[in-house]
A and B are shown apart, each in its own frame.
Chain A
């Protein structure tokens, strides 16, 4: 079921929000014990469905676009009076004291939030195995991970409980789980969507966006949550970047050198097959050189931990969250953070503290920021010649639980997605051909990348290559 189909059926009176929300809650009840996409389910969604039904009965054409649509949100997004854990033990009992801007916007558009979804702790991970509350399973093959960090959001949509879930993406956390679960996942231009009320991970990288079944739905929901916000000074206006136009025929650049190694053969096959589909649809597919993109992951693992170590300093067991007692104030900090954080979070905080320490600041953080600027320049140059860049979304299909044994091999899952966050451009993952593993068909995504503020182009090509096929 898509948002668009539900909306049409609400308007024609074929189904009602109460029926849909009941089905949604029923499906979660039946399936989620196994999948574990949700951390919390909101039973009061039914009361909201009754209200949505009243609105539709009064003047249906005048109702906002998401009236009565069930939606799930990642648990690092604050929803007033509801638990917001960020997937961490340190916030196990934390209740949000205000709404994120995107929550206000979704509610204003009539959406009904049915639950909050599981995630890697503070959005750090590519499999949801780092959640303090246990992993989420991939609905397409429950022996495999759903991807991460927005794995719960991806699974919630893939299991059919909601037509859309909101995730956050710092280095691929919307697009990679979309790829693993056979969905559309969209990461907007940095600043297109307000981060107010999102738990900060990497403040210069984080963006929130939708996971959906169609590009049409992703566009619809993105347009609801996007926009300038007085509460987030990094949000952009319509004229921050030059206007990017849609075209009948796109020139699509493929960074061939970047695809030369480290990619699963079947994933590469699915990608090549998608390029052929693009050619058949009349687009030009050309090779481009983006040598710095291949170094993106290295720069990312300096910039991101640095921002993580600063942002997560706030979780100290003093004003909110779990406090673990100690003999003095210092011991309270060390005990609360020592017991409250999981290994991946600790690793990144330590790494970030190291690269920001005075003797090493220029050698690591200064250089990584300089690389980032060079990457932006390289990208701007390439976009004078082509319209869209295409890559596989992730180098492999969904892997088995426990398959990535060391941190670095897990980090490499994000090799194609992190350059997008470092440069701040928008990107979308749409399902390509599936690959076979142990007799099961596993989805694989292809990523389109557009210039800053080029979301229209991604939606346009995405709809043509996915929704209309």
Chain B
């Protein structure tokens, strides 16, 4: 794995990494990938069986299960930035792009 790949993974997983971290994670993740490659000794390409657990989906009626508004206040309290009862975020559309 290269440093460029680590930077790309940082970008994909939305984590800002500095150069020292990129260097460190590059070495450490390489070591882990080498260790996990043992699984190649057990299964070959093309024999990947996919299995489902013993428990299946459980469905309920599609109805409202709690009093409307009963969580509004506590959820609002956790928001890092808000305006009135609205969550505030950066704009996601840039008209110049």
Residue numbers of A with Cβ under 8 A of B are: 81, 94-95, 97-98, 191, 204, 230, 233-236, 240-241, 292, 295, 297-299, 301-302, 309, 313, 316-323, 326, 328-330, 332-335, 337-339, 341, 343, 346-347, 349-351, 353-354, 357, 362-364, 366-371, 373-374, 406-408, 411, 424
List residues of chain B with CB within 8 A of the CB of A406. Answer: 28, 31
Cβ A329 vs Cβ B92 within 8 A: yes
Instruction: Decide if the interface of chain A is mainly helix, strand, loop or mixed.
Output: helix
**A233-B57, A319-B87, A346-B15 given as contacts; is B38 within 8 A of A295 (CB)?**
yes
Cβ B21 vs Cβ A407 within 8 A: no
Chain A residue with minimal CB distance to B46?
A: A362
List residues of chain B with CB within 8 A of the CB of A343. Answer: 21, 24
Q: List 11 A-B contacts (CB under 8 A).
A: A204-B53, A235-B55, A295-B42, A313-B13, A313-B14, A337-B14, A349-B15, A354-B5, A357-B12, A370-B48, A371-B42
* Cα-based distance from A94 to B92 in the complex (angstroms): 25
Cβ A347 vs Cβ B87 within 8 A: no
Given contacts A329-B89, A353-B13, 15 further A-B contacts (CB under 8 A): A95-B77, A97-B74, A295-B41, A329-B90, A334-B10, A334-B14, A338-B17, A343-B24, A350-B6, A350-B13, A351-B29, A354-B5, A366-B50, A370-B47, A407-B28
Residue numbers of B with Cβ under 8 A of A are: 1, 5-6, 9-17, 21, 24-25, 28-29, 31-33, 35-43, 45, 47-51, 53-55, 57-58, 60, 71, 74-75, 77-81, 87, 89-92, 94
**A353-B12, A408-B35 given as contacts; is B51 within 8 A of A373 (CB)?**
yes
**A317-B80, A321-B80, A349-B15 given as contacts; is B42 within 8 A of A302 (CB)?**
no
Cβ A322 vs Cβ B80 within 8 A: yes
Cβ B13 vs Cβ A323 within 8 A: no
Chain A residue with minimal CB distance to B22?
A: A350
List residues of chain B with CB within 8 A of the CB of A374. Answer: 42-43
Cβ A301 vs Cβ B35 within 8 A: yes
Cβ A346 vs Cβ B17 within 8 A: yes
* Cα-based distance from A351 to B35 in the complex (angstroms): 13
List residues of chain B with CB within 8 A of the CB of A371. Answer: 39, 42-43
* Cα-based distance from A234 to B16 in the complex (angstroms): 34
**A298-B36, A319-B78, A329-B90 given as contacts; is B14 within 8 A of A354 (CB)?**
no
Instruction: Decide if the interface of chain B is mainly helix, strand, loop or mixed.
Output: loop
Chain A residue with minimal CB distance to B24?
A: A343
Chain A residue with minimal CB distance to B75?
A: A97
List residues of chain A with CB within 8 A of the CB of B77. Answer: 95
Cβ A369 vs Cβ B48 within 8 A: yes
Cβ A350 vs Cβ B80 within 8 A: no
CB distance from A353 to the nearest CB of B (A): 5
Q: Name the one of B29, B41, B53 contacting A350, with C-beta atoms under 8 angstroms.
A: B29
* Cα-based distance from A264 to B43 in the complex (angstroms): 31
* Cα-based distance from A344 to B15 in the complex (angstroms): 13
**A328-B90, A373-B49, A406-B28 given as contacts; is B16 within 8 A of A334 (CB)?**
yes
Chain A residue with minimal CB distance to B77?
A: A95
List residues of chain A with CB within 8 A of the CB of B71. Answer: 97-98
Kindly list the 7 A-B residue pairs having the minimum CB-CB distance in the complex, ordered from nearest: A338-B16, A323-B80, A320-B78, A334-B16, A333-B14, A298-B38, A329-B90
Cβ B49 vs Cβ A370 within 8 A: yes
CB distance from A86 to the nearest CB of B (A): 14
List residues of chain A with CB within 8 A of the CB of B37. Answer: 298
CB distance from B96 to the nearest CB of A (A): 12
Chain B residue with minimal CB distance to A237?
A: B55
